[in-house]
Amino acid sequence: MRKLLDAAMVVFARRGYHAARVDDIVKVARTSHGTFYLYFSNKEDLLRALVSEAGEVVAALDSGLGPVSGDREGWKELRQWMGQFSDAWQRYAPVLRAWTDLVMSDPELSAQAHAAAGGVASTLAARVAAAGPPPGIDPNAAAEAVVAMVDRFHQLRQFAREPVDDVALDTLTTMVHRGLFSSARG
């Protein structure tokens, strides 16, 4: 079962959800079709298991972000969280990709992922709200935007086969920190 999940990650990474044939997964896992259907009721079910797993990791991220102040300390806090997010994303990149391939047709899957992402977003929103957001900033929309940005930024870099390096993470962090947390102005 672990073997199948890992194999699925590999195959989803290579070909995406739709192009991934059960046959491929089974071959990589060095098992048989029968075994596949012993553990998962269908291909979708396998993805759901993977999303579930990724969801736990993502959910863990919301405890990884402490209060964010407007000064250098706050920046560091945010930067460290950004690093965690980036690591988690990269680890589960194939799952996210497969998830993207399927969301539209499977509402349940959508809900599952929404719940996971929701936790992170609400923690982030709370931090924004606590820091006393600049005028014109809606904490919830802002939090959603940050998650959106980081997620899609990674995706784009992946498409382009370019790494997400420190320069990139620093830039994202600075943008968010200045944009949402450093209320003091000259």
Partner DNA sequence: CATGAATGAGTGTTCATTCAT
Partner DNA sequence: AATGAATGAACACTCATTCAT
Residue ranges binding DNA (CB under 7 A) = 19-23, 31-38, 41-44
Residue placing its CB nearer to DNA in the complex, 22 or 137: 22
CB of 98 to DNA, least distance (A): 12
- Does residue 185 interact with its own copies by CB under 8 A? yes
CB of 37 to DNA, least distance (A): 4
Give the C-alpha separation, 62 to 55, whole Å: 11
- Does residue 30 interact with its own copies by CB under 8 A? no
CB of 108 to its own copies, least distance (A): 13
- Does residue 15 interact with its own copies by CB under 8 A? yes
Reported for 171-175, long-range contacts at CB under 8 A and 24+ positions apart, including other chains, are: 172/82, 173/75, 173/78, 173/79, 173/82, 174/75
12-50: buried (b, 16+ CB within 10 Å) or exposed (e) per residue? beebebeebebebbbebbebeeeebeeebeebeebbbbb
- Does residue 35 interact with its own copies by CB under 8 A? no
Please give the structure tokens belonging to residue 138: 């809606």
Q: Which stretch binds its own copies (CB under 8 A): 23-31, 59-67, 81-89, 164-172?
A: 164-172
- Does residue 114 interact with its own copies by CB under 8 A? yes
- Does residue 142 interact with its own copies by CB under 8 A? yes
CB of 131 to its own copies, least distance (A): 13
Q: At what angle do helices 2-19 and 93-102 cross, to 10 degrees?
A: 50
183 CB neighbour count, 10 Å cutoff: 12
Considering CB distances under 5 to 8 angstroms, the limit depending on partner class, which of its own copies, DNA, none binds residue 185?
A: its own copies
125 CB neighbour count, 10 Å cutoff: 19
CB of 60 to its own copies, least distance (A): 21
- Does residue 175 interact with its own copies by CB under 8 A? yes
173 CB neighbour count, 10 Å cutoff: 21
